[in-house]
Amino acid sequence: MTNTLFINGKEVEFTNEPNLLEVIRKAGFQVPTLCYRPDLTQFGACRMCVVEIKYPNGRVMINSSCTTPPEAGTQVFTNTDRVRKIRKTVLELLLANHDRECTTCERSGSCELQKYSKEYDIKDIKYVKKRPEEYLPIDRGNPALVRDPNKCILCGACVRACSEFQGHSVLGFANRGSKTRVQPLNGMALDKVDCVFCGQCKAVCPTGAITINNEIDGVWKALNNPEKKVVVQVAPAVRVAIGEMFGMPVGTNVIGKLYSAMRKLGFDQVFDTNFTADLTIMEEANEFIERFKKGENLPLFTSCCQAWVRYVETQHPELINHLSSCKSPQSMMSSIIKDMLPKTKAAEGYTKDNIVVVSVMPCSAKKAEIKRPQLMTNGQYDTDFILTTQEFAHLIKSAGLDLKDMEEAEADSPFGEYTGAGTIFGASGGVAEAAVRTAYNMLTGENLTNLDIETMRGVDKNSKVKDTVLDIKGTKVKVRVVSTLKEAENSLQEILNGTADFHILEVMACLGGCVNGGGQPISCNDATIKVKRAQALYTEDKELTLRNSHDNPDIKKLYNEYLEKPGSHKAHELLHTSYSDLFKGSYKDLK
Amino acid sequence: MATLNIDIEKEQQRVQSELEKQGLRVLVCAGTGCVANGALEVIKKFEEFGVKTGVMSAQDKITIIPTGCHGFCEQGVLVGIPKLKTTYVKVKVEDVEEIVESHIKGGKVVERLLYVDPKTKERIQYDEDINFYKKQTRTALANCGNIDAESLDEALAVHGYEALAKVLIQNDPNAVIDTILKSGLKGRGGAGFPTGLKWKFAAANRGGKSYMICNGDEGDPGAFMDRSVMEGDPHKLLEGMAIAAFAIGADEGYIYVRAEYPLAIKRLRKAIKEAEERNYLGKNIMGSDFSFEIHIKEGAGAFVCGEETALMASIEGERGMPRPKPPFPANKGLFGRPTVINNVETLANVPVIIRKGADWFSSMGTENAKGTKTFALTGEVNNTGLIEVPMGTTLREIIFDIGGGIRNGKKFKAVQIGGPSGGCLTEEHLDVPMDYDNLAKVGAMVGSGGLVVMNEDTCIVEVARFFMNFTQNESCGKCVPCREGTKNLLHILQKIVKGRGTEEDIETLEELSAAIKDGALCALGKTAPNPVLSTLKYFKDEYMAHIRDKKCPAGVCSALKQYTIDETLCKGCTKCARNCPVGAIEGTVKNPHKIDQSKCIKCGACYDACPFKAIKKG
């Protein structure tokens, strides 16, 4: 049903918008928000989106537009003196209690508090300033996330993200009054609690209170060291997001320009993680078929998402056997680079000690992944650096380059060629879809006639769980695709209570998969951004001639010349890993 | 019409005859206040004494009844003997023997334990004649102090569950809502929203699961009316809840009580158990189709949990933080289901409205506020305690008639009404008929009914600081205006009482208060600036004295206090100098003394020591 209301005098139609704020934005007006996130529940805490509402009965109210349902016939005013006064007061109060070392802040330039302070011309803060003794220690105790409570404005977005996306509630509110804090249990560091480092808290943080551990300096150092052979790989979801940071339209696939930028930056080899995504499919499809035939350790859990893997290890070690033993595509790439290049490129000076692998990922958890003891060879980490999409954009900018100006280029051989199956890894459902395409071929010797498995697609908040039943020549294979750990936990409970009815469980911790990863450009104010990024991946898949991992000629070559066949001894040595019981106890045990 | 398997009238008759067998009922107040004063020892002594001397023969048996709060806490321990038309006050264990020997056995009143009227100095034998009680109209508190709160039979004897039986026989939930609507009952917890309307909104969602919650998270400093009802007449509350649940179609309810009320929790648990065992609660109540189960949820002591949405979050196991409204609880409340949440006192009014009718209730009070309201009268009045008066009673009647005027003949200065969200009123408001609208007009609120009376020795800025400190500590921390705004209001008030305030601070106080009022998320935040705004409105001079003259007119703010010696009154007795701990007073015998302000630490020892009132503070 369509109704109308008035915004600043303009008649506006509304239908099923969840709140007045969305109606206001749809009508082309802007009101500032700090705590509103379209994919999370409305919190109403920051009071920045307050508007004056005149109801048909004459009553005038001031309320937060993010929590107010639109009502027909109301007159809404977004810029009255009263509401501007509230917003200004809120900003001044927040700034008074904020670490205002903006110039050195990771979020300088993308900070929402900074942006509104400018917009509202905050010049003079008359409220009591944060005193030096009120500063709290910064948590830098883990490889992935940095938590600076002195920049926290208590908007609660991270608390909601952790609880509503991940069902995990690593972060919560503590204390009351002006002593209120957001912190993990008892103020412990993130690595001491069961944080999986998905970075969704960071993705929704309006300020620099939660940021990703910045490793740009280390990469520059490697690039500028003539002794080192610096090899870079780039994950599927990066190519459809990084352009945003250079002013390109959302959903632009910039992979060709990205390869160029990488070469210009001085990387010695430019590889594409899409290649090892294809490789993952070969191994994982093979692993699935073996398990399926034996009826062992089903459902098989995908293992590409490190946050998910860590979740299983810390929360459900009893289900570790379900995890695919395949390394993530990122880790597979690092392993084969460090194993193969000293042999194949010895002439060009590659040795087992001078290769530096830099992986450009949409993810914060990958920074923790590479520190896993299982991902070390001869006492050295397989991957040296993870740079997030955001960090890599900064790296490009700090070299004085603009991605827009780069020419199209190709990745290097032998790990640059990829198929459509590899590229869709970046969206929730992509791994399962790619795996099914290849499993079908492995079981029947034929390719699927329709490669678009629409029931596995969708990255918005209504697509967190997607069930698909595939008929492989009479054999039914049931696949469940889940994004967010909260939904994953529901599926795990089904497994534990014996009601699970699926053979493959694909889990991505971030809503919608890697396109919406914690390391991606900030997109938390617009729920459609991740949808457009995913769309760009599916478009590339559609446009590629090769869309099945097993059809990738370089993959075939790699097996023929090096790995023998999926699941071989050599493949196991390089491409598979193990998991450990990281259970630290549950609050339920405290009783 | 439905038939019930409990005939409430027959039950009442049975209970009455039981009670008659008790002989002489001696009511010993066992509310929290009197327990603190030794009520349990008094009760024990009565019982022990009785047994030892054998006065409790079958013919003239006495029964000791531990009751809930009788309201006159100032005079506790209270011992009432209705049959002898006597109320003893400030009873100690050692007085028990005399009461029994002299009065109960010998028929001679123990004069020294009677109440003394502070004005006339007359001894008054029975509470009905004491001004404190005479001017009250007790409906919600009617039974508090008159019955054994731990006995269902005693509740039945005073019409307990009669109203519930009536609505169950009538079996028309809408009629119940109409009666409450017609009665004009408004929420007694603070906001004053019409109770019947709240029920009507929730009843529109009848059919699915819905909840009835009783808000017993009484948190205003000094307020204890809800505790008194829960401790003194728990069955009335349970009955009120059951009637409300029947009206809105709820089958499950919660009483949210703060854990700091252990006696209330104990008595409620006992009452729920007994009522369930005897089918006044639980499945198919009194044989009807209506079932209603009540849980008790102990609050962890957060003031904000008295806010209804925060309270529901707390029951759900979440941190007690308010949620924005709309949606209102009547549509989406506890666990996302339609919920009615009423305050204890509101619910305690429900049974009597059903029993005596809406007209009876609405005959009391003012045009826009019907019935009676309880107030917790505290501060510098002669008679402090819990009172209940018709809406529209003036502050003058409460403070000077019921309260017996200001203690020690001091001058009335102000009264803080409505707790941390309320405001300070002055002499000019003494004759305002108190109801929701009138108080809102002058910048205060009925709130839960806390009344703190202040005399000339009270510093108003310090009062504002006290309440702001409370609100800041109790802010849930969710919305910026309340969390950061009250912190800054408090900071400014602290500056002013320390003599470091500036005139711009007044402007900032006003501006910030306006932004908090408009911008805060919940009612607690929106009303948080009230103590500042009302005191600024009526006592701006006092603020300015602190800021401009660096003086606290009431002589309270120690940073601004100055003691001086009036030379015309000083006899040179040297007592002040001898009492001064820092040797700040100089002077020779029989000559006027002088205080060295640079040495004075403002402890007030000289002020207390001077026999000639020659030392002035200010």
Confidence at B545, pLDDT banded by 50, 70, 90: very high
Residue B224 in this model has a pLDDT that exceeds 70 = yes
Q: How far apart are the first and last CA of chain A?
A: 51
Question: How many angstroms separate the CA atoms of B483 and A396, rounded?
Answer: 41
Reduced to 3 states (helix: H, G, I; strand: E, B; else coil), residue B20 is helix
Which are the contacts of B152, defined by CB distance < 8 A and separation ≥ 6? B160, B235, B271, B274, B275, B278, B280
Closest to A226 (Cα-Cα) out of A354, A127, A134, A317: A354
pLDDT score, position B51: 45
Q: Cβ distance B481 to A93 under 8 Å? A: yes
Q: Go through B230-256 and write b for each residue having 16 or more CB atoms within 10 A of its CB, e for each that does not.
A: bbbbbbbbbbbbbbbbbbbbbebbbbb
* Beta bridge mates, B454: B414
pLDDT score, position B63: 86
Residue B59 in this model has a pLDDT that exceeds 60 = no
Confidence at B1, pLDDT banded by 50, 70, 90: confident
Q: How does DSSP classify residue B51?
A: H
Q: Options 3.40.50.150, 3.40.50.1970, 3.30.2310.20, 3.40.50.11540; which CATH number does B152-362 get?
A: 3.40.50.11540
CB contact under 8 A, A94 and B484: yes
Amino acid identity, position B576: C
CB contact under 8 A, A177 and B477: yes
pLDDT score, position B58: 44
* Beta bridge mates, B29: B67
Q: How does DSSP classify residue B88?
A: E
Give, to the nearest 10 degrees, the angle between helix A273-294 and helix A430-444: 60
Q: How does DSSP classify residue B62?
A: E
Residue A2 in this model has a pLDDT that exceeds 90 = no
Question: How many angstroms separate the CA atoms of B121 and B396, rounded?
Answer: 21
Instruction: Give percent above pLDDT 90 in chain B.
Output: 79
Burial class (CB in 10 A: 0-12, 13-18, 19+), A123: exposed
CB contact under 8 A, A176 and B484: no
Question: How many angstroms separate the CA atoms of A533 and A408, rounded?
Answer: 20
pLDDT score, position A536: 98
Encode pLDDT of B203-215 as tens digits: 999 999 999 999 9
Tokens representing residue B328 in the block = 């209102």
Span A276-285, average pLDDT: 97
Q: Options 3.30.420.40, 3.40.50.460, 3.40.50.720, 3.30.70.20; which CATH number does A125-212 get?
A: 3.30.70.20
Closest Cα in chain B to A34: B480
CB contact under 8 A, B481 and A64: no
> How many CB atoms sit inside 10 A of residue B102's CB?
15
* Beta bridge mates, A268: none
Confidence at B118, pLDDT banded by 50, 70, 90: confident
Phi and psi, residue B315, nearest 5°: -60, -35
Burial class (CB in 10 A: 0-12, 13-18, 19+), B6: middle
What length is written for chain A?
591
- Taking contacts as CB-CB distances below 8 angstroms, the residues of chain B near A175 are 477
Encode pLDDT of A145-192 as tens digits: 999 999 999 999 999 999 999 998 999 999 999 999 999 988 999 999
CB contact under 8 A, A86 and B515: yes
Q: How far is C-alpha B556 from the chain's CA centre?
A: 26
Q: Cβ distance A235 to A362 under 8 Å? A: yes
Tokens representing residue A204 in the block = 């929704």
- Taking contacts as CB-CB distances below 8 angstroms, the residues of chain B near A63 are 324
* Beta bridge mates, A10: A7
> How many CB atoms sit inside 10 A of residue A109's CB?
9
pLDDT score, position A588: 52
Span B415-438, average pLDDT: 92
* A138 min Cα distance to partner chain B (Å): 21
Encode pLDDT of B256-278 as tens digits: 999 999 999 999 999 999 999 99
Question: How many angstroms separate the CA atoms of B39 and B183, rounded?
Answer: 38
Confidence at A1, pLDDT banded by 50, 70, 90: low
CB contact under 8 A, A128 and B488: yes
pLDDT score, position B74: 87
Closest Cα in chain A to B519: A86
CB contact under 8 A, A47 and B481: yes
Q: Cβ distance A90 to B480 under 8 Å? A: yes
Question: Which position has the token pair 């209301």?
Answer: A5
Q: How far is C-alpha B521 from the chain's CA centre?
A: 26
Tokens representing residue B25 in the block = 């009922």
Question: How many angstroms separate the CA atoms of A27 and B415, rounded?
Answer: 50
Which are the contacts of B535, defined by CB distance < 8 A and separation ≥ 6? B423, B424, B460, B461, B463, B464, B542, B543
Question: How many angstroms separate the CA atoms of B349 and B330, rounded?
Answer: 20
C-alpha to C-alpha distances, A376 to A332, A334, A452, nearest whole angstrom: 12, 10, 37
Span B105-111, average pLDDT: 89
Q: Cβ distance A362 to A242 under 8 Å? A: no
Residue A591 in this model has a pLDDT that exceeds 90 = no
Confidence at B54, pLDDT banded by 50, 70, 90: very low
Reduced to 3 states (helix: H, G, I; strand: E, B; else coil), residue B264 is helix
- Taking contacts as CB-CB distances below 8 angstroms, the residues of chain B near A35 are none
What length is written for chain B?
618
Q: So what's the ipTM on this one?
A: 0.91
- Taking contacts as CB-CB distances below 8 angstroms, the residues of chain B near A89 are 481, 485, 511-512, 515-516, 519
Which are the contacts of B189, defined by CB distance < 8 A and separation ≥ 6? B215, B306, B342, B343, B345, B346, B448
- Taking contacts as CB-CB distances below 8 angstroms, the residues of chain B near A113 are none
* A381 min Cα distance to partner chain B (Å): 42
Q: Strands, DSSP E only, in B380-509?
A: 385-390, 412-417, 423-426, 450-455
**Radius of gyration of the CA atoms of chain B, in A:** 27
> How many CB atoms sit inside 10 A of residue A444's CB?
12
CB contact under 8 A, B481 and A86: yes
pLDDT score, position B53: 42
- Give the class (CATH, top level) of A216-575: alpha beta
C-alpha to C-alpha distances, B327 to A42, B251, B521, nearest whole angstrom: 12, 22, 13
CB contact under 8 A, B519 and A153: no
Amino acid identity, position A299: P
Question: How many angstroms separate the CA atoms of A493 and A478, rounded?
Answer: 17
Give the start-to-end residue ranges of the domains of chain B. Answer: 23-131, 152-362, 372-455, 460-547, 563-617
pLDDT score, position A521: 98
Closest to B344 (Cα-Cα) out of B545, B502, B188: B188
pLDDT score, position B95: 94
Sheet with B385-390: strands ordered across: B385-390, B372-379, B450-455, B412-417, B423-426
CB contact under 8 A, A93 and B477: no
Residue B57 in this model has a pLDDT that exceeds 60 = no
Residue A497 in this model has a pLDDT that exceeds 80 = yes
Residue A137 in this model has a pLDDT that exceeds 70 = yes
Q: How does DSSP classify residue B185?
A: -
B100 preceded by cis ω (within 30°)?
Answer: no
CATH 3.90.1150.10 fits B563-617, yes or no: no
Give, to the nearest 10 degrees, the angle between helix B530-538 and helix B540-547: 90
For chain A, list residues whose CB is within 8 angstroms of any CB belonging to chain B: 42-47, 50, 62-64, 67-69, 82-83, 85-86, 89-90, 93-94, 96-97, 126-128, 153-154, 156, 172-173, 175-180
pLDDT score, position B173: 97
Confidence at B222, pLDDT banded by 50, 70, 90: confident
Which are the contacts of A374, defined by CB distance < 8 A and separation ≥ 6? A577, A578, A579, A580
The CATH number that domain B23-131 falls under is 3.40.30.10
- The structure's pTM equals 0.92
* A114 min Cα distance to partner chain B (Å): 16
CA-based angle B367:B369:B370, to the nearest 5?
Answer: 95
Segments in B158-261 forming alpha helices (H) = 162-170, 173-183, 195-203, 225-232, 234-248
* Beta bridge mates, B254: B213, B295
Tokens representing residue B195 in the block = 């109770």
* A67 min Cα distance to partner chain B (Å): 6
Span B231-247, average pLDDT: 97
Question: How many angstroms separate the CA atoms of A432 and A421, rounded?
Answer: 10
Reduced to 3 states (helix: H, G, I; strand: E, B; else coil), residue B78 is coil
pLDDT score, position A585: 72
CB contact under 8 A, B481 and A90: yes
Question: How many angstroms separate the CA atoms of A482 and A463, rounded?
Answer: 8
- Give the class (CATH, top level) of A3-79: alpha beta
The two most distant CA atoms of chain A are separated, in Å, by 84
Architecture of domain B460-547: Up-down Bundle (1.20)
pLDDT score, position A590: 47
Question: How many angstroms separate the CA atoms of B556 and B498, rounded?
Answer: 11
CB contact under 8 A, A47 and B477: no
Residue B61 in this model has a pLDDT that exceeds 90 = no
Give the start-to-end residue ranges of the domains of chain A. Answer: 3-79, 125-212, 216-575
Question: How many angstroms separate the CA atoms of B144 and A250, rounded?
Answer: 69
Tokens representing residue A18 in the block = 């969840």
CB contact under 8 A, B477 and A179: yes
- Taking contacts as CB-CB distances below 8 angstroms, the residues of chain B near A84 are none
Span A397-414, average pLDDT: 97
pLDDT score, position B48: 78
The CATH number that domain B372-455 falls under is 3.10.20.600
Instruction: Give percent above pLDDT 70 in chain A.
Output: 99
* A274 min Cα distance to partner chain B (Å): 43
pLDDT score, position A216: 97
Instruction: Give percent above pLDDT 70 in chain B.
Output: 98
Question: How many angstroms separate the CA atoms of A162 and A200, rounded?
Answer: 7
| Three-class DSSP labels, A360-384 | EECCCHHHHHCCCHHHEECCEECCC
Encode pLDDT of B123-182 as tens digits: 999 888 898 998 899 999 999 989 999 999 999 999 999 999 999 999 999 999 999 999
